[in-house]
Amino acid sequence: MRSLLSSRPLGLLFLAGWLLAAPPLWAGLEDSATLDATPPGSLGGFPLTNLVDNVDTSEWISDLTVGVGGGASVTFTWASPVAIGQVSIFWTSPYMPREYTVDTWDGSQWVTHFHVTDTPAAAAYANHAYGFPASTTALRINIVQSHEANYPRFGEVNILTASEVPPLTDLMDLPVTLESSTDPTNFQGKTLVLDNDVNTDWVSGLSVGVGGPATFTVTFPYAVKFSIVRIYWGFYPPEEFQVETWDEGASDWVVHDHITTAPPADDWTEHQDYYYAYHGDGNTMSGPDFPVETTKLRVNILVSSPDNFPRFSELEVLPDPTKVPAELSDFTLE
């Protein structure tokens, strides 16, 4: 099975795609916070202050009593309320946690804004933006389960204030929930469609077979309106797929676009071997425009590439057709 996946330059993709380019480190709200760990303490030489030294390779490692695969949390507390816009976490060891949440304190309890269970296989950084409350006095990064071969650990945290975060242009930046019909057997993780890297793909579970079907569903934290869906397919565009939204009243999926092997030229752009599909209101969709509001978007791959499994590399869901971001430009594919 693996040899099929590598029939194009994919062997390199698997290696290169994980090395995400991290942004520079900066001074932020983390610098005015008090840091605590639960349980308290840390491994000698890996103190909490390593999380805010603007050196991504210097790590905090939890107290080892939590055990390999165990959980621990780090809390940032402010003397006065702050407006958090974005939390960036730099996981700089190869031991990504298996499950973590990003929470804020509402005065009486922790509220979870992001719940991540689908981390990349190797070191990465994660931006968690939008969806935070107008003000809070504490933020918690809660590692529920660390890597099965290691302890809770990460390298750096930077926290932007809300005023520093640009307006929301891609609804995929909300704290969305991702589901695939081949969960939990995906060959590569679902969050890879959110990393703005066209070299990293979600790949379905392999049991569907080459050319097989799979669905990929996005659930938004509240009902949203969008005008454009842009899917980056990489080397392996499917033979047939549909872009669908969930109709709560009818309890059914609405098909907005049904694409087969020979798509209309307006819907596909080709750069060497690279394709993206663009589905927009008033464009050339085979079905109705996107609804006024919906909570779910589904990419329904009916027949994947004859050479590969259901997979794609990026998904963008754009609310404002006048503010379409530039297409992701790395079409060289490493």
Considering only 88, 158, 304, 305, the residue that binds Ca ion (CB under 5 A) is 158
Indicate whether 192 belongs to the interface with Ca ion (CB under 5 A).
yes
Name which of 146, 165, 43, 131 is nearest 91 in CA terms. Answer: 146
CA dihedral 180, 186, 187, 189 (to 10 degrees): 70
Considering only 200, 215, 300, 308, the residue that binds Ca ion (CB under 5 A) is 200
Considering only 9, 34, 53, 266, the residue that binds Ca ion (CB under 5 A) is 53
Measured from the CB of residue 248, what is the shortest distance to Ca ion in angstroms? 30
Stretch in the footprint of Ca ion (CB under 5 A) among 142-150, 192-200, 239-247, 304-312: 192-200
Indicate whether 320 belongs to the interface with Ca ion (CB under 5 A).
no
Query: H helices of the chain, where?
Result: 2-5, 10-16
CA dihedral 128, 248, 256, 271 (to 10 degrees): 10
Q: What SS3 class is residue 3?
A: helix
Measured from the CB of residue 60, what is the shortest distance to Ca ion in angstroms? 8
Peptide bond into 221 cis (omega under 30): no
Give the nearer residue to Ca ion in terms of CB position, either 127 or 294.
Answer: 127
> Which one-letter DSSP state was computed for residue 62?
B
Q: What SS3 class is residue 265?
A: helix
Whole-angstrom distance, CA of residue 193 vs CA of residue 275: 15
Whole-angstrom distance, CA of residue 246 vs CA of residue 201: 24
Measured from the CB of residue 224, what is the shortest distance to Ca ion in angstroms? 21
| Per-residue binder mask for Ca ion (CB under 5 A), 137-156, x = binder | ------------------xx
Give ∠ CA 222-224-226 in degrees, rounded to 5.
155
Give the nearer residue to Ca ion in terms of CB position, either 54 or 286.
Answer: 54
Measured from the CB of residue 191, what is the shortest distance to Ca ion in angstroms? 9
Indicate whether 13 belongs to the interface with Ca ion (CB under 5 A).
no
Measured from the CB of residue 26, what is the shortest distance to Ca ion in angstroms? 6
DSSP conformation letters of 170-217: -GGGS--EEEETTTT--SB-GGGGGSS-TT--EE--GGG-TT--EEEE
Whole-angstrom distance, CA of residue 54 vs CA of residue 49: 10
Indicate whether 191 belongs to the interface with Ca ion (CB under 5 A).
no
Indicate whether 313 belongs to the interface with Ca ion (CB under 5 A).
yes
| 49: CB partners within 8 A, 6+ apart | 35
Considering only 170, 197, 257, 316, the residue that binds Ca ion (CB under 5 A) is 197
Give the nearer residue to Ca ion in terms of CB position, either 22 or 254.
Answer: 22
Measured from the CB of residue 333, what is the shortest distance to Ca ion in angstroms? 11
Give the nearer residue to Ca ion in terms of CB position, either 74 or 285.
Answer: 74
Q: Which amino acid is at 268?
A: W
Measured from the CB of residue 254, what is the shortest distance to Ca ion in angstroms? 27
Whole-angstrom distance, CA of residue 261 vs CA of residue 246: 25
Measured from the CB of residue 15, what is the shortest distance to Ca ion in angstroms? 15
Site for Ca ion in 56-85 (CB under 5 A): 58
Query: Which residues contact Ca ion (rule: CB under 5 A)?
Result: 50, 53-55, 58, 155-156, 158, 192, 195, 197, 200, 313-314
